Structure 1
Amino acid sequence: MGRHSLDQHRLGRDGLGVNEQTRIVARICSLAGVLAVGSLVTTLALPHPGESAIASHWWVLPLLTIAFAAAERSVFHVEFRREALSFSLSEVPTAFALLYLAPGPAIAARIVGSLAVIVFEWRSKWFKLLFNSALFALETALAYHVVQFAVEHWHGSRVVTLLAIVPATSIATIIGSIMVSAAISFVEGGFRHRLISELRLSTWVAPLNATVAALVVAPTLIDPWLVALSLVPLAAFWGVMRSHGQLEQRFRDLDDLHGFVGRVGHSLNVQEIVQAAATEVAALLRVRRVGIVVFGTEDGLRRNDVGKPLPNLPTSADDPAWANVFAATTAVEPPGLGAALAVAVRDGEGVVGLIVVAEREGAQDHFRITDRVRLATLAEQFTPNVRKAALHEQIDHEARHDSLTGLPNRAQFERQVNAALKLPASGGSGQQVVMLMDLDRFKEVNDTLGHHAGDAVLIDFARRLLGRLQPGDLLSRLAGDEFALLCKRDSDGIKELADQLVEEARKPFSIDGLEVVVTMSIGVAPTTAIDLDAASLLRKADIAMYAAKHNHTGFEMYRDDIDRRTPARLAMLGDLRNALEINGLQVFLQPKLDIATGIVTGLEALARWEHPARGWVSPEDFIPVAEETGLIKQVTDQVLGTAVAHLHKLQTMGHHLSLAVNLSTHDLLDDQLPERVMRQLNRHDVDPALITLEITESSLLIDAPRARATIERLNEHGIRLSVDDFGTGYSSLSYLRHLPVSELKIDRSFVSQLLFDEQDEVIVRSIIELGHNLGMQVVAEGVETDEVLNRLRGFSCDIAQGFGICRPVPVERLVAWLNTTHHPSRRADPLNVDQWSVRGN
């Protein structure tokens, strides 16, 4: 049996100002005034305003007043989300009043009895009391009009009067529904939707309730004391109906709780789950304001609010003001929020978050014990979902980020670059570029101080880089000591940023009380229209970065002329393969001069390639191609075989010289290198002691154990080892002195500036002294003038080599040079002590 009063409606909305609240109250009071006037006019217009249908005793009035109060008190509610259906017995005392009271006393009994409960039980506001009083009066007056109209037109029999009660109370109930809908729409809007919903229910419930009321009052027409026959079954029916309603309510609540898990757990995104949970909690607990916070996710604190945000919610589980809430096992009142409830979201691992609700609406505007239990249950249901989503976010974050520095990893960086490449070009100056950064000498830090020191360097280095970036820049750690950056700058800004980053890397890192210094090389690849994905940009940046390493420039911009994988390079690869098949590589020889005696004691073999179309191709162009494609072994074997053959030829002509041949890093890592070398020496009957294999300083650090094993095996065969370009790499002296190296070659960059740069002079003198102290022979390459040669003689350098002595030439021209130069060759076999002489004939 539906009720139609405002005593159970909040009539409030979030964020209402004082002025708006005043206007709403004024509208409700205006409507109440209209209803009051309408009830007065309706009452005065009754045909018999002072008569009752059946005469009764005086005590009927207070009895029915009590009955109206009891009917109001016996209301029960069935709530579903934010809607509430209320049921009462108010039609029964109304039916008795239509029979046994005059209109005036009936209206008074209805108002006094009902309002007494509303005032003392529900403590409704004054404007609600005013509205309900006017509504009760109008409903009762309208019911009397229907009854008196039926009595007048159908001759007033008691049966007619009894039957008239059904439409009378039905019409009064429907009119009441319309008026309550209008009052609620003043606040919440949606009058049409609410009216249709109310009429859909009232049009069949109201006649049903009125019929029950008529059946209850019918026995009293025979004898008033027969009312007991009606009230006893009515009470039993009402009890069953109330129990059924409460059971129905519990089933609805249980269904809502089960549905809550499905509606909240549909996503693995923490923010989406928190948002869905806040909306569901607001609906299930019938509240206007909800605040949910989740602590400690990958993106920090997560919060979502329904309605006006609740103030002063905690940002962590350590907030002392909320300690009681976090310690409680059920929902409790939170600090400083008044009529609200809060519950900690927790599991076996600790507190996950918090749910706070306030401003209950629906049938009752205050929180009950059942609300506390329900909120705690919702929190329990919410916990596994948010934990699962947080775990998924953590796994997803770890899959996309570097665990050491927290930066995006290679996969995430490539996704972001690919996404940026697909975006239309934005206005403004600047071009997107990818920078590839690699720390030099980082391996030394790991090998010397341990991996914990290396990790500390990487973490501090990442922090330094981030401090130099702008919003919108994307920094990533790709692997090891390799970082990448996506940014947008103009040409000057790119160079300025690259310089700044290089300088940041050069600043000392403090590790365990030690200052560690590393350097960095950067390759810069600007985006172009032909760059379709991140892989092509990273490849270009990698090429530029290795160019920066090779040239010791700090950073290099990508250019086609340094790209070894351009169509021209691919064509070179095919031509080089063809040249190797026909033994098309030539070997030029450059003399090496004993500085003290002026005697030519050795030669260096240098590979040369005369291309049929391109002419002479520099080794700097074709050797890297051979190294990248695996042809380097063939190149080394062919150069070594030809050079040994030339050496044997010179020996037969009386020139007893040594031979130096350059090795690639790839050769040094080949386990079969000693066998390859000995095969060539045996073929031409050349003693291994005459052979010196030159290896670069940096190649010693690549797979050091494997390189050392190869070097030691070569030494066992009597082959000498020389470290080429010494002073430009990063080899460790402690490592170098344990290798069977017999010669150091000073890089030409130091020798060529010997007379003009004091620092280069100091470096050259230091290397010579270092080599001698380690028992090694020292060779200076790049000697172009007699002045440089004389300065080296003053430094006690052993061997000189350079254009100032002789350029690399074919073997035939070398023989001619040896026969005409004032630098005689060694004519005695250096391996035969008995034949040795300082100068040969």
Structure 2
Amino acid sequence: MDVQQGTAAPRRRRRPSAPEQRVLGISAALVVLTAASLWAAPPVPAGIGGLVGAVALPWWVLALGYAATEATVLHIQVKREAQTVSVSELSLVLGLFFAGPPALLAGRLVGSATVLLLHRRSTPLKTAFNLALAAAETAVAVLCFHVLAQVGQSAPALWLAALAATLLANTVGIIAVGLVIAAFEGGLRPRELARDVVAGQPATPVVVAVALVAVTSLAADVRSAGLLLLAAAGLLIAYRAYASLSDRHLNLERLYRFTQAVTSSPEVDVVLSSVLGEARELLKSERAEVAFPAPGGGHVARVRLGPSGRLSRSEEPLTPADEWLLRAVVGDDEAQLLPRTTRDAAARAWLAARAAREAIAVPLRGGAGTVGVLVVTDRLGDVRTFDDSDVLLLETVANHASVALQNGELVDRLRHEALHDALTGLPNRAFLQRRLTGALDDVRDGRSAGAAVMILDLDGFKDVNDTLGHQQGDRLLVEVGARLGAAVGAAGTVTRLGGDEFAVLVTDTADEDRVVRLGRRLLRALEQPVALDGLEVEVGGSLGIALAPVHATDAAGLLKRADVAMYDAKGAARGLRVYGADLDTADPRRLTLVAELRAALATGGIEVHVQPQARVTTGEVVGVEALVRWDHPELGRVSPEEFVPIAERTGLIGPLTTHVLDRSLAACAAWRAGGHDLAVAVNLSARSLYDADLVDEVARLLARHDVPAGRLTLEVTEGSVMADPARAIALLHQLRDLGVRLSVDDFGTGYSSLSYLKRLPVHEVKIDRSFVMGLQSGAEDVAIVRAVTDLGRHLDLEVVAEGVEDAATWELLREVGCDLVQGWYLGRPMPAAELLPWLRSRPAARGALRAV
């Protein structure tokens, strides 16, 4: 039985990747096996057992037989891969008895090539491998059959010879496919391969038996060929009908369970998780999401199911590609099938915008008509693609979901949650951006006199969290939100930006005095203590104000200037500050960097360099640390210490972290493809530990680049954890459960490190460079490094030392028992693309390091 394993296609490159080169090598070996088997096969005299040579089958008849059997297949989905099972043994057995080796081989290759190129439309690499495999299987079967035919020449003996030849040919196929899977996934699994060889051919004896019945009938009377063709056609039809019936039965079971889950739970998240999870499972797709167009247009609310099973929500501007899909599905109330082979320009533009190969989009209907779109993209494996039956299946899921949508204002809740803070119930940053953009449009068009933004940051909130815990900190934020709302009333809109930052938008005013009076009212609302856990807690705030059109005419600029004013108010302990040009005279770079950081992220101006890490005992490079770099076209190299805090203050730290993770994992995948299984470490900022979507984002990027989670290390500083230990430790546990390695960076420079280290789910500690660089000049630094190393050993943590700049420091670190080192003595930071050439050029350096 011919079995082909569907694997994920490698990324396209100008020259073959390492796995592709291995596949080409396997194909070449199969060609050699084919030639050797045909050369060694002894001739079989015609007429043996009254069967061999009784009928002469030309090559084109065998080609038709192979094409028919391989085109009529059963697709079986196993987890993330698809298998194609055919009954091509029918043609093989007939060819062994009634055709010579050349005709059998020609028929097999022509028939297989026809199916691969015209029916399955396989890639050139897959076509080459499958044809080489088909030739090798045929040649091995011929050799086995001819050798055994010399031993026993009775009809039963020839039957056993045909069965043995077929089983041996399939064994060659199973081993070859296993080698190809190992080439892409890394590492051969001999036990699984042996199990497949022994138990992976359950239907082969049955198919061979049917083929031998045909052989016997044709040898007795060639006119029985018509009856055999009718019987074979009936078997193939029944075969496909059974497969289809089995598939429908499984889908019905899943739909039944899905219907129960949707109708029995009133929870919105449970309903959405069921809808998206079932859509993804039924259609074996990579991703599933629900999109709801905003009532006023211009935006779309999305709900996605992440790799970890958690829901994420976002409010995004409506792109032209999205507008086309929503108009086609919501406006016309029609499902859309976007197959891999589509030539429709709009469909291809949408797929390109979503980085997808194929998709299905069906309408979600509510009480007032179609309210949204259910979308699945990218079927798992390369064997099957979405078709019309999948559209009907997804429409069934959508119809069940529509019942839940009509159950009670689900769409309104989704839109509300996308634009409001879950803790305080206040509007969130996305809401503020939309409302502020509209207000500034009114100012620009003369419909409004002006607008103002106030940003308020709480003073002392960290102390509340550290002392009373995360739960009491949340209660404080809820109380602050309520007080600010009461103080503002109808004069403006209070929003929560995240953490302990709030903002107030005041529209249709250019009166600075009025806005300042409102700001002082906000600060007075915080003067009364808040009762928390039996204690009277006092918390103040620092407020920054910026007005349009005086200070800025765009939303980003106005928010940045209000943020600058707030930080000045906090630093000067004055409580409230209105933005002024004098705030930037001391550092004219600040506003330039704030304005251009977002553009640099969008245009690729932010780069990722890497610095190697090696084992102290051998000098072997086992990983790298990713270092973010910004080469400004006018200002030159901008230090991360300068622009990372700006990203944190302006809300760009999320996109910056995603960019660095994406580029680092892409480089890691390229190194793995080149034969270097290196780990990569990425720093997380303190603000990243407040990002509820960080875990899903990390999981998505790991899956996108096919990098094992254990190859990624996320570094956090003591200070970032101490800012909110309860929340940070909970997030770190989620990342560890994902399989990601965790590291404490700059260890020893913070406070409470020993008391919290045993609670942190980390794998390593990184000694700060200030201690490492002072090893040769002071006994105190040696004692600190030795203590940290001993502590790491007792806690089963790896210890990394950074800042190694000479051989003597390397030797001292080896003596104290440090595990990994990093520094200029090993290698300076370099662009990620230069790492592999650097590794190939350092054999001598490696030997020198071992001699240290």
Alignment TM class, shorter chain as reference = 0.3 to 0.5
Q: What TM-score does the superposition give when structure 2 sets the normalisation length?
A: 0.45
Larger Rg: 1
